[in-house]
Amino acid sequence: MRKRIAAVALALAGASVVAPPADAGQGRGKVMAYFADWDVYARGYHVKDIETSGSAAKLTHINYAFGNVTGGGCAVGDPWADHDMPYDAATSVSGQADSTEPGALRGSFNQIRQLKKLHPKLKVLWSFGGWTWSAGFTEAAKDPAKFAESCYNLVNDPRWAGVFDGIDVDWEYPNACGNTCDTSGPKAFTGLVKALRAKFGRQLVTAAITADGSVGGKIDATEYGAASRYLDWYNVMTYDYFVAGASPAGPTAPHSPLRAYPGIPSAGYYADAAVQKLRRQGVPSAKMLLGLGFYGRGWDGVTQRQPGGTATGPAPGTYEAGVEDYKVLKTKCPANGRVAGTAYAKCGSQWWSYDTPETASAKAGYARSQGLGGVFAWELSGDTADAELLRAIAGRC
């Protein structure tokens, strides 16, 4: 997901606001991926796995998901996973057990601190909101300075000093509907990120945003072009366009199409449409990162191999119906078709769409050819133990 001092007050009143660094988003090759704090539970994926898989050496940035947005401010999402859970020597990045002294930093935050010691150029942002906690942004937008102050104080809390290099806000969706609906107006998002920039100064400030490229869709509901002035870049969530949860009877369709294709269920629901619409709004190409999913979306009860078939409902998944990690699908249901720049697979009665190393690499190539700032992925635990997808992406950035 992702201050009431004189400087902020002046900024919000129309005084000058600290702009992003001059080179923000201008260089190609950003490779970012999300690490979700809940991965440490059922998935058994820890920060150490980012190192042992080889992912850390390929990444330029990590987004830590998610912090909560509540009461008009930022809050820790999961205290146990984030900064309390002790790691022993075998499971820690450094090979040393966490301190048992009162007040000592533990959990994933301490593991990230250790990871950054091994990779000094790696930057980490704390992402707030996400699908579940985005409802809190409506209250936050009423007093952006209060929100910015709360978030700055939390991200830069002395208990985890040096862990984070900035903040990412994942508001799903300003002036539109996601898990809940927001009616704050098209300027609310701009006001929020303007306040964050004023408070965070030259620390990184980014945002994960909709990739709805349809006419009158979610991109049109917010002034993303105006807001981009205050941000280092956008993470454009170019995935989850078509999912079985929303259309259990089908038609089957790739969840992350790069381009349109004959029979696409909804016009504008593909990555290139979002990129071009954001450009027309005024978002610089270099301030956009193209999103990829390290997972697939699937239907069951399907007889047609090609997209567009009928179904009886979501395909079974390890953690959620209709969703499965790439690392599982690559052997459980190998890709046997391609459409619109992504892959799909028909195995038995199931139909899945997901990116393979080949299509992920091609998408990274598209991002580079379009002058985008790079690529990002949701999320690291879905990749193989040797980071097949991330390596493919990094090789083209």
The two structure tokens encoding residue 73: 């401010």
Phi, psi (rounded to 5 degrees) for 342: -140, 180
Identified catalytic residue from 51, 172, 324, 388: 172
Is 386 inside a domain boundary? yes
282: confidence class by pLDDT, cuts 50, 70, 90: very high
Is 339 inside a domain boundary? no
397: confidence class by pLDDT, cuts 50, 70, 90: confident
Task: Look at the chain and report how many structural domains it folds into.
Answer: 1
Query: What mean pLDDT is predicted for residues 326-354?
Result: 98
pLDDT digits (tens, 9 = 90+) for 223-276: 999 999 999 999 999 999 999 999 999 999 999 999 999 999 999 999 999 999
Is 151 inside a domain boundary? yes
pLDDT digits (tens, 9 = 90+) for 24-71: 434 458 999 999 999 999 999 999 999 999 999 999 999 999 999 999
Residue 223 annotated to the active site: no
CATH, residue 45? 3.20.20.80
pTM of the model: 0.92
Is 285 inside a domain boundary? yes
Is 59 inside a domain boundary? yes
pLDDT at residue 9, as a whole number: 30
pLDDT digits (tens, 9 = 90+) for 144-184: 999 999 999 999 999 999 999 999 999 999 999 999 999 99
19: confidence class by pLDDT, cuts 50, 70, 90: very low
Is 84 inside a domain boundary? yes
Is 1 inside a domain boundary? no
pLDDT at residue 17, as a whole number: 37
Range of the domain at 234: 26-293+356-394
The two structure tokens encoding residue 135: 């409802």
